[in-house]
Amino acid sequence: MDKALAWLRKSRKRFPPNADVWDFLFKYADTGCGQVKSDLLANRYQFKPLQIVQKANGESVALWSSVDAFVLKCLATVLTPVLPVHIQCTHVKGHSNNTMKRVLSVLTRSGEKPYVCRTDIKGHYGNINKLQLFDQLAEYVSCPITLNLLGQFLHYSIEDGGEFHTPAKGISRGCALSPLLGAFQLYNVDKSLSKLKGVYYVRYMDDFLLLCNTRHTLRKAVKHLNQWFNHFGFTQHPDKTFIGKTAKGFDWLGHQYNLAGHVGPGKRALSNFAAKLRQLYEQALARPYLRSGLAERVVQYVRNWWRIFAAQGVSAGSMPWPPITHKGQVIRNLCTMWEGGAQSNDRTLYKQPYEPSVAHIIKPNG
């Protein structure tokens, strides 16, 4: 439980002062959360409905109470060694084994995988069949207390302004248990596809990648995958699916690949980066009284983004930027300014905050 408590404290450390997490942490430090333990052992613990809360940026999200989030983290910890997760499912802790290097190794090995299927489940968590998943869980979990908690989790409710809603299908997002159940549900899919001859298969959450040695093998693998999708009631995401020759290039997990290996950031990643950067920049321009703090957020976002991609030798000047409004040139200048540090051999830049003058980021006249 101490690990779950540390996770809760870290994940909600930026919550406002009136959030329930602070009351829970205070009571835990005082009583050791004895009431929660006794309720769990007596099989009478009940999850509360998720609450709709509004974030600072105006986005509305459904949030578990801090006590429920704590219990779900404990449940995920207990179930991790019990539920099977395939080694080719790489988003689970301990399974990554440097996925990107493995994919690059397969791609650059004398062009032996010239065909690719890259796809994504459309609305994965929101389209999971609750009863089907519970039956899968019951094959590996026999404890009635755990099954009761899992049943409550699957059939969660949401409260919004006094109105209660229980989704007919799908599991909640944004809690510690969801990634584990998402990985476990597709275990048989992973096991089946990884056994296909002539196919290199890997999955990250609901992002599938199949590299094949012949066109016939590709068709067979795609048919096999579609059969599994039909079994679970899933559909491929039309905007995130590419089936064809590897030489044409494909986007996977924010990176662009072809037969030569890694090309650079994917087009979707670049587009999302530019959109987010523009949003942060416009917030800084629209709120002069918060300009300094928002400008630091802009720099922090760019620094974090480059931390991921700078190691791949990506140059800001060579990026195919999508069309940006009149503030685009300043955004480009910001990226170029950061590039000088990101491409440097001095890795200590990542250990210290990179904070150029706000005047370099925000021009008074926009």
The pLDDT of residue 247: 87
pLDDT of 38 higher than 90: no
Position with higher pLDDT, 291 vs 158: 158
The total of structural domains in the chain comes to 2
pLDDT of 346 higher than 70: no
Domain-embedded: residue 294: yes
Residues 94 and 13 in one domain: yes
HEC string for the chain: CHHHHHHHHHHCCCCCCCCHHHHHHHHHHHHCCHHHHHHHHCCCCCCCCEEEEECCCCCEEEECCHHHHHHHHHHHHHHCCCCCCCCCECCCCCCCCCHHHHHHHHHCCCCCCCEEEEEEECCCHHHCCHHHHHHHHHCCCCCHHHHHHHHHHHCCCEEECCEEECCCCCCCCCCCCHHHHHHHHCHHHHHHHHCCCCEEEEEECCEEEEEECCHHHHHHHHHHHHHHHHHHCCCECHHHCEEEEHHHCEEECCEEEECCEEEEECHHHHHHHHHHHHHHHHHHHHCHHHHHHHHHHHHHHHHHHHHHHHHHCCCHHHCCCCCCCCCHHHHHHHHHHHHHHHCCCCHHHHCCCCCCCHHHHCCCCC
Domain-embedded: residue 363: no
Q: Is the pTM of this model over 0.85?
A: no
pLDDT above 70: percentage of residues in the chain: 70
Q: What is the domain extent for residue 114?
A: 1-256
Residues 246 and 271 in one domain: no
Residues 227 and 314 in one domain: no
Beta-bridge mates of residue 89: 203
Domain-embedded: residue 139: yes
The pLDDT of residue 94: 62
Domain-embedded: residue 365: no
Cα 303 from chain centre: 19
286 confidence band (pLDDT: 50, 70, 90): low
Residues 97 and 123 in one domain: yes
Domain-embedded: residue 344: no
Average pLDDT value for residue range 331-351: 40
Residues 105 and 62 in one domain: yes
Residues 160 and 125 in one domain: yes
The pLDDT of residue 311: 53
205 confidence band (pLDDT: 50, 70, 90): confident
Average pLDDT value for residue range 49-72: 86
Residues 250 and 270 in one domain: no
345 confidence band (pLDDT: 50, 70, 90): very low
Domain-embedded: residue 356: no
258 confidence band (pLDDT: 50, 70, 90): confident
